[in-house]
Amino acid sequence: MEYRIISADDHIDLQWLPKDLWQTRVPAQWRERAPRVIDTADGPYWVCGDERWDPWGGRKGAAGAMGGRRLALERGGVLEPGVLRPTTTELRLADMDRDGIDATVMYGPIVPLLVKDPELRRVCYRAYNDWLAEFCATAPDRLIGAGLIPIDDPKSAAAEVRHLNQLRLRMGMFLAARVELPLWEQAWEPLWEAAAETGIPIGFHLGGGLRTAVFSGPKATDAGNMGVRVSCSTLQMDEPLAAVIFSGSLERYPELKIVLAETGIGWLPYMLERMDDSYQKFLDAKEYWGAHGGLKLTMSPSAYFRRQVWATFQTDRVGLRVVDVLGEDRVMWASDYPHADSTWPESQKAIKENFEGVPLQTRRRILCDNAKELYGL
């Protein structure tokens, strides 16, 4: 297949999943407690145990959690309650064709994090990943699924990465800003080892990482709260990025690949400059580090970034004008379909506006070649 534009960060959300995904895929002993869809006075909803989660099937105007911003499907005039466009192969491909997108990288829902029982949570991860592999197989040249990776236990995370490899999924989704055990801890070594061994890129996707934002209750719709929640969400990968670099994980595993998904790129040049400056000052403190185990890096932090880290964006005029600092091979464009932030169905217009003045070779790498090479298309 000839690729021209690949969207490196799109989505499969809870509301678009088949109603019976977990009820038909988890072992029998878990089904009574596993997520399912029930009819309520407010319409069909996902429930798990005694908890009610999100609505199922998509609803027009259901944008309260997004500050009134409509889903892309509603803006594009194709939102029909109960019609699962993002997980119906022919409909998703039709939406991609409408937007001029040849292939999509699909990050999944955060639903397993909502499951409190750790064993049931792991079962739910596995069931989703098995379903995802089957869905991607319906159009393997165009649908690239990011399997879910547990964030509560490094050994379970490593095991799931190896399972993703067995399923022939091309990448994994890891909510790095939500981890309770810091990523610089040695305990995460099994995950980095598994990712390096299998060659599966680990997508650090947005989710969590906001200290003051609230997501429910009477103040959730406060303009100040919503401004923090929406505007600051892309900046939450500063700590995970610094952790995976300064801990020496990228030094120990040069085959480890990290993707900063939906983070934008405009903030990254300063972050790299700041990390490099910190590293140089650490080098000047030889006596201190000699007494504290030594530094774990043999290169500057920015060198590890340019060797092993990628980042995605939808619209980022500032970032594209300093992309040479990051390296044109480190950046991938995305549409964020079908979210409220998405450029769909007007991605071509967004690309034209954002890429004005960007050399054709750089444009080609960012819109297509980088993702094509990273995911082996």
pLDDT tens digits, residue range 239-275?
999 999 999 999 999 999 999 999 999 999 999 999 9
pLDDT at 65: 52
pLDDT at 61: 59
Q: What topology does CATH give the domain 6-18+77-374?
A: TIM Barrel (3.20.20)
Q: 115: which residues sit within 8 A by CB, 6+ positions away?
A: 35, 48, 121, 124
Q: Is 124 helix (H, G, I), strand (E, B) or coil?
A: helix
CA angle 344/350/352 to nearest 5° reads 135
Whether the link from the prior residue into 345 is cis, omega within 30° of 0, is yes
pLDDT at 104: 98
Q: Which residues of the chain have pLDDT under 70?
A: 60-68, 112
Q: Which stretches within 137-246 are classed as H helix?
A: 154-167, 189-198, 223-231, 238-246
pLDDT at 64: 47
Q: 30: which residues sit within 8 A by CB, 6+ positions away?
A: 120, 123
For residue range 307-339, list pLDDT tens digits in order. Answer: 999 999 999 999 999 999 999 999 999 999 999
Domain map of the chain by residue range? Answer: 6-18+77-374
Report the 10 Å Cβ neighbour count for 253.
18
pLDDT at 112: 64
pLDDT at 67: 62
Question: Is the pTM higher than 0.85?
Answer: yes
* Interatomic CA distance for residues 123 and 338, integer angstroms: 27
Report the candidate in 344, 366, 355 with the shortest Cα–Cα distance to residue 10: 344
